[in-house]
Amino acid sequence: TLSASSRTTSEWQQLDHAHQVHPFTDQKALHGRGVRVITGAQGVYIWDSEGNRFLDGMAGLWCVNVGYGRKELTQAVQRQMEELPYYNNFFQTANVSQIELARMLAELTPNGLRHFIYSSSGSEANDTVVRLVRHYWATLGKPTKRVFIGRTLAYHGSTLAAVSLGGMPNMRGMDRVPLPEFEHIIHPHAYWQGEGVTKESYGLKAARALEEKILELGADNVAAFIGEPAQGAGGVFEAPAGYWAEIQRICKKHDVLLVADEVICGFGRTGQWFGSHTYDIAPDLMSMAKGLSSGYLPISAVAMTDRIFDVIAGGGPIAHGYTYSGHPTACAVAIANLNIMKRERIVDHVRETASPYFFQKLQELAQRHPLIGEVRGVGLMAAVQLVRDKQKRIPFDAKQEPAIKCREACLSEGLIVRAVGEAVVLSPPLIITRDEIDELIGKLSAGLDQAA
């Protein structure tokens, strides 16, 4: 097998530069420094080709929920590969791993979401949502209900429909999306609105923006509202109390479907199986990926209720699907992953132990650190907002790049974090222990001191 030690790090870096194009990366800046070659991982740690160890404060890309190095998952892959490495579920076939996984998901998801269509990534799942929801309305004789409403700083993926659902300016700017028929309302983050504005009152204002948008567009033209229960990649914004109840009231009133994008929130990240449990959301459809297999293999799914399924099932053949929809090996690893989650009671660990301790430590850090304006988040997803003036809530000039400086300093301390705007974002594996949280906070604190 290929071994990292068969070439020097700088040889790997040169080959990388010659042949690999990296997503979400400034290629030119990368060439100056060279990629970090990741060679191994165990538990909450990863190693690079120079032998450096890092605590992975991002669980890969918010996905390695059960941690690295799980033999049970490797064995599930090997067994399935030997038995049936691939077969599709088009044209009246299925395999037992697909069926069993759908059965397990039906037990875990809220609100009678008990029909599942598979894909391989969160983006594909959200594209599936867009196509199926429009098909649903057309089948019901309401073909004008086509517009999706999303939120500013939402992230729903990189494919053309998913990026149009999203509201991150850099994503939308690159190739000047959006597609038509995708609209956005404000997201519910009160901090920059000033000290007098409470989270709850701004949450209600943000939710009522949905009603204003529906009235502006005409409810006959609006297909669905989509939201991450707690927003992730845009900077981690937990939902304020009352927000989702108001969103749901408005969706019901105007006959607009509600889609929960659980790609990050699903599978324990918020301290319940789904963010929809945490915020008491009853979605009509739900997209999921990442934690479904803890990232060990690509797999995603869209869940739907009877209401949606019954209409779609009566609307003729579904002209949608991917070669790898329900890939048996990915399904097998997802089943094994869910079994680990259940057996080790990982969701309870997040809710009862890891999350309270994590936020207690983050809040203590925020109290004593002059750079931290706000700590926000839920479960094991958090953002540490860096500000120039903590008392007056004055932001940094973006060119100062405080979060990027902090990210680099954390790397030198042996901690992976993410920089989103002027916030440092954290989303560690859900199995993280109190001692490992102490280590994370210690390294983050040292990183902040270096960046200050």
By the criterion CB under 6 A, which residues form the site for ligand PLP?
61, 121-123, 126, 155-157, 228, 232-233, 261, 263-264, 289
> Closer CB to ligand PLP, residue 185 or residue 448?
185
- We find the least distance from the C-beta atom of residue 440 to ligand PLP, in angstroms, to be 21
> What token pair was written down for 229?
């229960």
Give rounded-to-5 percent helix, strand, coil for the chain: 45, 15, 40
- We find the least distance from the C-beta atom of residue 131 to ligand PLP, in angstroms, to be 16
> Closer CB to ligand PLP, residue 125 or residue 354?
125
Rounded CA separation 243/83 (Å)? 47
Residue whose CB is nearest to ligand PLP in the complex, by number: 122
> Closer CB to ligand PLP, residue 288 or residue 451?
288
Q: Which of 190, 188, 187, 146 is nearest to 167 (CA)?
A: 187
> Closer CB to ligand PLP, residue 260 or residue 346?
260
- Residues listed for the chain: 452
Rounded CA separation 52/38 (Å)? 9
| Beta partners for residue 42, in sequence order | 45
- We find the least distance from the C-beta atom of residue 160 to ligand PLP, in angstroms, to be 12
> Closer CB to ligand PLP, residue 154 or residue 365?
154
> What token pair was written down for 118?
């598979």
- We find the least distance from the C-beta atom of residue 130 to ligand PLP, in angstroms, to be 12
> Closer CB to ligand PLP, residue 57 or residue 447?
57
> Closer CB to ligand PLP, residue 243 or residue 441?
243
Place of tokens 């440092």: 424
> Closer CB to ligand PLP, residue 66 or residue 441?
66
Rg over alpha carbons for the chain, rounded to the nearest Å, is 22
Amino acid, single-letter form, for residue 204: L
Q: Which of 169, 173, 210, 170 is nearest to 188 (CA)?
A: 210
Inter-axis angle of helices 402-413 and 434-451, nearest 10: 130
Phi and psi dihedrals of 198, rounded to 5? -80, 160
- We find the least distance from the C-beta atom of residue 262 to ligand PLP, in angstroms, to be 8
- We find the least distance from the C-beta atom of residue 293 to ligand PLP, in angstroms, to be 11
- We find the least distance from the C-beta atom of residue 124 to ligand PLP, in angstroms, to be 7
> What token pair was written down for 395?
């932001």
Phi and psi dihedrals of 48, rounded to 5? -110, 175
- 3-state per-residue secondary structure call for 167-202: CCHHHHHHCCCCCCCEEEECCCCCHHHCCCCCHHHH
Q: Cα(first)–Cα(last) distance of the chain, in Å?
A: 44
Report which DSSP code applies to 381: E
Burial 175-198 (b: 16+ CB within 10 A, else e): eebbeebbbbbbbbbbbeeeeeee
Q: Which of 240, 281, 239 is nearest to 259 (CA)?
A: 281
Rounded CA separation 260/304 (Å)? 11
- We find the least distance from the C-beta atom of residue 122 to ligand PLP, in angstroms, to be 2
Amino acid, single-letter form, for residue 42: Q
> Closer CB to ligand PLP, residue 295 or residue 402?
295
- We find the least distance from the C-beta atom of residue 272 to ligand PLP, in angstroms, to be 16
> Closer CB to ligand PLP, residue 289 or residue 380?
289
- We find the least distance from the C-beta atom of residue 126 to ligand PLP, in angstroms, to be 6
Phi and psi dihedrals of 172, rounded to 5? -75, -25
> Closer CB to ligand PLP, residue 41 or residue 297?
297
- We find the least distance from the C-beta atom of residue 201 to ligand PLP, in angstroms, to be 26
